[in-house]
Structure 1
Amino acid sequence: MPETFIDLGSVTAPSGVLVLGMAGWIDYWPELGQPLSERAKIAAESGGGHLREWLCEVVAVPAADDRPLRVRASTSPSPFDEEPTIATLEISLGLPWPETAEQSMPVRLGDLPVDRCGMVVGDASGLDAWTGMDDEPADGLADVFYWGRYADDAHAQFGGERIVQYGVDGPHGWLDLSVAQAAVRAAELTAWRDRLHGKGLMVSVDKHTDYHRFRRAGWDHPLHVGAIEVGGCQVLGIEWDQGDHSMRHRGERAHGQVYPVTLEADEVGEMMMRWTIPPSTSTTKTSDELGPGDPPPW
C-alpha cells in the first residue's frame, strides 16, 4: 500500500546548503570548532553527507537557493498512544537529479537519531544564528508556566491563563512577558510554594530562544511541527511526543536508535532528502552494522 504524505510547510536555503539535524545541539557547533555552515558547505559540495561531532549531528545536502523547498511526511501509529507520528520525512531540494546517476538507486548519506529535543530543517548558514535553550532571546521576552498538585491553589492566588498545547489544555501561565517580569513571577510562585507546601508545584521560565520558538510554533500542529525565521531563513522544527520518544527512540545513537537518510529522485526527477523511521526498531541496524548479506536500511 503506497504511503500517504501530508505537507508540513516549506523552508528556504539561500546559501544553497540545507541541513536536517538535532535541534538540541545546533548551537553547539561553533563551540566545537568550525561553524555549522562551513562544515555543511564542504559536505554539500561532495553531494551531501553526515556530520557528527560529540553529540551534534546533521545531514547536509545541496539545495536550490531561489525558491521555497517543500517538506512533507508520512505517518504511522505511535506504540505509545496510537496517535500519528512521523514515519518518513521528505524534503524537496529543488535541484535536478544528476544525469549520470541512476534514479532508481537511493544514495545513502548516513543516519540520524531522533533528538529528544526535536529536529530542525533549515539553511546551514541561517542556523549559525540559532539560539539554544541556554541563550538569551532576541526579543527580550519569555513565557512562564506552572503545573502540579497545587496548580489550582496557585491559580487562585496568582492567576494566569490555561495554555492550550497540541489541542489540549496545558499548564497555567503567562506568555510574552519581559525576561525580568518572568523572573519575578517565577520567584513569587516558587516562594509561595516553598512557604506553604515545600513541593507539589513545578515552575518553568522559557525564554524566547529559537529552540523555544519552534516548539511554541508547533503547539497547534498535530505532528508538533512549527515554522520560524532564523538568520533570515524559513526553518521548520519538529518536536516528538515525549512518550512516543521513550517507546521508540530512547537511548538514541548510544543504543543504536538511528534511522537512514538517503538522497533520492522524486516523481518529477528532482533531488529530495528522505529520512525513514520504521514503525518498529527492534531489528533496525545502523549503517556500520550492516553485513555483506544485509539489505540497505531504506
Structure 2
Amino acid sequence: MTETDVDLGTVTVASGMLVLGMAGWIDYWPQVGRLLSERSRTVVAAGGGHLHGPEDSEPSAWMCEAIAVAAAADRPLQVRAKTSASRFDGDPTIAVLEVDLGLPWSGPDDGEAVQLGDLPVDRCGMVLGDALALDGFTGLDGQSTDGLADVTYWGKYEDTVHAQFGGDRIPQHPSGHGPRGWLDLPLVEAEAVAERLRTWTREGPGNGLMVSVDAHTDFHRFNRAGWNHPLLAGNIELDACQVLGLAWDPEDHSMRHRGERAYGQVYPATLQARAGEAVLRWTIPPYDPDQ
C-alpha cells in the first residue's frame, strides 16, 4: 500500500521526558498511583519504556497507558507520520508515527531497534508531549481552562433549529462536515443556550436533536486545533510546552482498532537509530483483512 510522509510540526519537552499516551486517560494517572511525570522519570532513567496503571499489575484493557523516553530539552522536536489510505473510507490514516528525540543514539552498536512496549489506539485520540506539563492536563471531564465553551447541535431537526435559533456550520473534519453551533461562549451562556435547545426539543418534536456543550479543556482544545488537519492533528501550548494531539477518525477506529488491548489491538513502540540520533517510532500496520 502506498505511503505518504506528513509533517506534523514540533513538540517541546522542557523536562527532558517525552510521553506518547492515550489522550482519554492522561488526567487519570494520579488515581492509579504516582503522577505521570514521576512514573516517567523512573522509566526514562532505565532507558525508556511502557507505563500503565496501576504499577503492580500487568497492562489491562480500558486503563491508562503511555510510552516515556528521554528527549532533548533545549530544542523543538520534529514529529512526522507515514500515512496509508484507510480501506474503509479512503482517508489517510497513520501507519508510522516518528519523533526526532534530539539525542545521540545510545542503543546497540549495530543500530538494532530497542523495544519499548506497545500501545492501543485510544478512540479518544493520542497525546504527545512533555511528561511534567501533562501532569496538569485537563481531560474529558475537566474544567474549562479559560471559562469558555463551545455549543454544537445536530440531528433530525437540525435545519428547523437553525432557522429558529441560528448557529454557524462548524467543520470538524477536513471534508468540511460538522455540526452547527457557537464557539467561544462564556460557560454560563453556553449552558443557557444548550438548555434552550433542549427545552425546544422536549416541548416540541421530542427526540431527534443532539446538543453538546464542550468546555475548553486541554482535551477539547487539541481536538479543536486538529479539526481541519487531514490526520486530525493539532498543537496546543501547555505549561509553556508545545503538545501535539492526534484525534482518530471514529469510522476507521471502529473497524481497525476496536476492542483495543482487550482484543490484542496494540502496536509496537521502538527506539530507532537515524544518522546517529535517536528516534521514537510507533508502528500501526495498515489493515489486513486476513488477520
> Could you tell me the TM-score, scaled by structure 1's length?
0.92
CA–CA separation in structure 2 for the residues paired with 1:172 and 1:280: 33
2:96 aligns to what SS in structure 1? strand
2:177 aligns to what SS in structure 1? strand
- 2:125 equivalent among 112, 118, 121: 118
- The equivalent residue for 2:236 is 228
Which structure 1 residue ranges, 5 or more long, are not aligned?
285-298
2:90 aligns to what SS in structure 1? coil
- The equivalent residue for 2:156 is 149
2:39 aligns to what SS in structure 1? helix
Give matches, 1:23-172, under 5 Å. Answer: 23-53=23-53, 55-98=63-106, 101-167=108-174, 168-172=176-180
1:112 aligns to what SS in structure 2? strand
- 2:218 equivalent among 192, 210, 216: 210
- The equivalent residue for 2:209 is 201
Q: For 1:148, give the aligned amino acid.
A: G
- 1:173 equivalent among 181, 184, 191: 181
C-alpha displacement at 1:50, in angstroms? Answer: 0.1
Q: For 1:216, give the aligned amino acid.
A: R
Contact 1:226 1:236 in 2 (8 A): yes
User: What is the Cα-based RMSD across aligned positions, in Å?
Assistant: 1.5
Q: For 2:237, give the aligned amino acid.
A: E
C-alpha displacement at 1:33, in angstroms? Answer: 1.8
2:179 aligns to what SS in structure 1? strand
Cα 1:2/1:46, change in 2 over 3 Å: farther
- The equivalent residue for 1:295 is none
- Post-superposition CA distance 1:254-280 (Å, at most 9, x none): 0000000000012x2110110000012
2:66 aligns to what SS in structure 1? strand
CA–CA separation in structure 1 for the residues paired with 2:224 and 2:2: 32
TM superposition outliers: structure 1 runs of 4+ over 6 Å:
none
CA–CA separation in structure 2 for the residues paired with 1:36 and 1:128: 6
C-alpha displacement at 1:207, in angstroms? Answer: 0.5
Contact 1:19 1:123 in 2 (8 A): yes
CA–CA separation in structure 1 for the residues paired with 2:35 and 2:288: 33
Contact 2:3 2:84 in 1 (8 A): no
Cα 1:2/1:244, change in 2 over 3 Å: closer
CA–CA separation in structure 1 for the residues paired with 2:132 and 2:289: 36
1:244 equivalent in alignment to 2:267: no
| Identity within the alignment, % | 61
CA–CA separation in structure 2 for the residues paired with 1:115 and 1:41: 23
1:277 equivalent in alignment to 2:284: yes
Query: Aligned pairs, how many?
Result: 282
- The equivalent residue for 1:290 is none
C-alpha displacement at 1:104, in angstroms? Answer: 2.9
Contact 1:261 1:276 in 2 (8 A): yes
C-alpha displacement at 1:253, in angstroms? Answer: 0.3
2:222 aligns to what SS in structure 1? helix
- Post-superposition CA distance 1:83-125 (Å, at most 9, x none): 1110000011000001x62243100000000000000000000
Cα 1:245/1:58, change in 2 over 3 Å: same
Which structure 2 residue ranges, 5 or more long, are not aligned?
55-62
- The equivalent residue for 1:18 is 18
Q: For 1:250, give the aligned amino acid.
A: R
Cα 1:192/1:66, change in 2 over 3 Å: same
CA–CA separation in structure 1 for the residues paired with 2:261 and 2:148: 34
CA–CA separation in structure 2 for the residues paired with 1:188 and 1:280: 44
Which piece of structure 1 moves more, 272-281 or 87-96? 272-281
Q: For 2:283, give the aligned amino acid.
A: T
Which piece of structure 1 moves more, 6-15 or 273-282? 273-282
Contact 1:103 1:264 in 2 (8 A): no
Q: For 1:26, give the aligned amino acid.
A: I
Contact 1:128 1:231 in 2 (8 A): no
1:173 aligns to what SS in structure 2? strand
CA–CA separation in structure 1 for the residues paired with 2:96 and 2:143: 33
